[in-house]
Amino acid sequence: MTLARQHQIQVVAHRGASEDAPEHTLAAYKKAVEDGADALECDVRLTADGHLVCVHDRRVNRTSNGRGAVSALELADLAALDFGSWKKHHGEAEEDPDWASATGEDTGADTSVLTLERLLELVAESNASGRRVRLAIETKHPTRWAGQVEERLLLLLKRFGLDAPPPEGPSPVRVMSFSARSLHRVRAASPTLPTVYLMQFISPRHRDGRLPEGVRIAGPAMRILRSHPSYVAKLRRAGHQVHVWTVNEPEDVELCAELGVDAIITNRPKQVLSQLNQL
Ligand code: G3P
Ligand code: CA
């Protein structure tokens, strides 16, 4: 049961409900939707044959039973791998009686490689059933592909009618990146699609809270808020929304709420929602 909302902060499931289920799998995203997350975060990379898949690392070694760079593998190669069992072997959820349902162990499809297309279908299915779920898509290593990641991404979003906000309200999709150039490419192709500029630290050129031209949303790392809490007010004064990552600890959630951020990106959407409802 989803609790009535007592707060305005968007809770975004980072790589899905990735504390409970293997990151970037359908199982993790289904769990996040079930837990009541407002939005789903995913990283996208291009396969050797031009498909966008949801994988964080350059290589598949950490999160699957295979080896090699995503960019050197075709979708069929990735589809033969298991992206679920690594988490169990790391012991993170071995004691959890819900492990099988959280990981989709009994439905292998839920822990195979996830294409962005399938994730967009899940979002569409969830929204058709009355939920309002947004998607925050991060382009990984976009400079390497000279625009191909963004080109494929925009084509796919267009196919789902998600390359621009609907006339009646905000965009269900936003694109995030540490690369200002990648975000610029996205806006050049689709000027009204919201973009999020991710920051590991405050670079001198953004010290006053201003971001690369056209960017509406700031995506600072949680560590920035811990060391420079007043930066949130600067970003807001410059007209930006603030989406913070990756916020898993209760004291960090509390600080985010105190500072009035707009979105919290977390591996634990259920716990964060519950904490925010009690603040
Ligand atoms: O949501 C932004 C955050 O995901 C950026 O870091 O390494 O988890 O992709 P990373
Ligand atoms: Ca990410």
Looking at residue 106, its pLDDT comes to 45
Mean pLDDT of all residues in 54-61: 97
Whether 14 is catalytic is: yes
pLDDT in tens, 238-272: 999 999 999 999 999 999 999 999 999 999 999 99
> Looking at this protein, which amino acid is placed at residue 49?
D
Task: Kindly give the distance from the C-alpha atom of residue 208 to the centroid of ligand 2, in angstroms, as a whole number.
Answer: 25
Per-residue tokens: 1: 């049961």
Mean pLDDT of all residues in 29-48: 97
Is the alpha carbon torsion for 205, 209, 213, 219 positive or negative?
positive
**What pLDDT band is residue 1 in, cutting at 50, 70 and 90?**
very low
Q: Give percent of the chain above pLDDT 70.
A: 89
Q: Give percent of the chain above pLDDT 90.
A: 84
pLDDT in tens, 194-236: 999 999 999 999 999 999 999 999 999 999 999 999 999 999 9
| pLDDT > 60? residue 96 | no
Kindly indicate whether the ipTM for this predicted assembly is greater than 0.95, answering yes or no.
yes
| pLDDT > 80? residue 141 | no
Considering every ligand atom shown, identify the ligand nearest to the alpha carbon of residue 199 and give its number. Answer: 1
Measured CA to CA, the distance from residue 263 to residue 246 in angstroms comes to 11
Q: How many residues does the chain have?
A: 279
Looking at residue 146, its pLDDT comes to 75
Of 24, 51, 56, 206, catalytic: 56
Mean pLDDT of all residues in 146-163: 94
Determine whether the shortest distance from the Cβ of 56 to ligand 1 is under 6 A.
yes
Closest C-alpha among 17, 24, 94 to residue 270:
17
> Looking at this protein, which amino acid is placed at residue 70?
V
**What pLDDT band is residue 143 in, cutting at 50, 70 and 90?**
low
- DSSP conformation letters of 217-237: EEEEBHHHHHH-TTHHHHHHH
Determine whether the shortest distance from the Cβ of 197 to ligand 1 is under 6 A.
no
Mean pLDDT of all residues in 64-86: 96
Determine whether the shortest distance from the Cβ of 86 to ligand 1 is under 6 A.
no
Whether 56 is catalytic is: yes
| pLDDT > 60? residue 91 | no
Task: Kindly give the distance from the C-alpha atom of residue 196 to the centroid of ligand 2, in angstroms, as a whole number.
Answer: 11
Measured CA to CA, the distance from residue 256 to residue 250 in angstroms comes to 10
Looking at residue 266, its pLDDT comes to 98
Q: What is the pTM of this model?
A: 0.93
Domains of the chain: 10-278 (3.20.20.190)
Mean pLDDT, all residues of the chain: 91
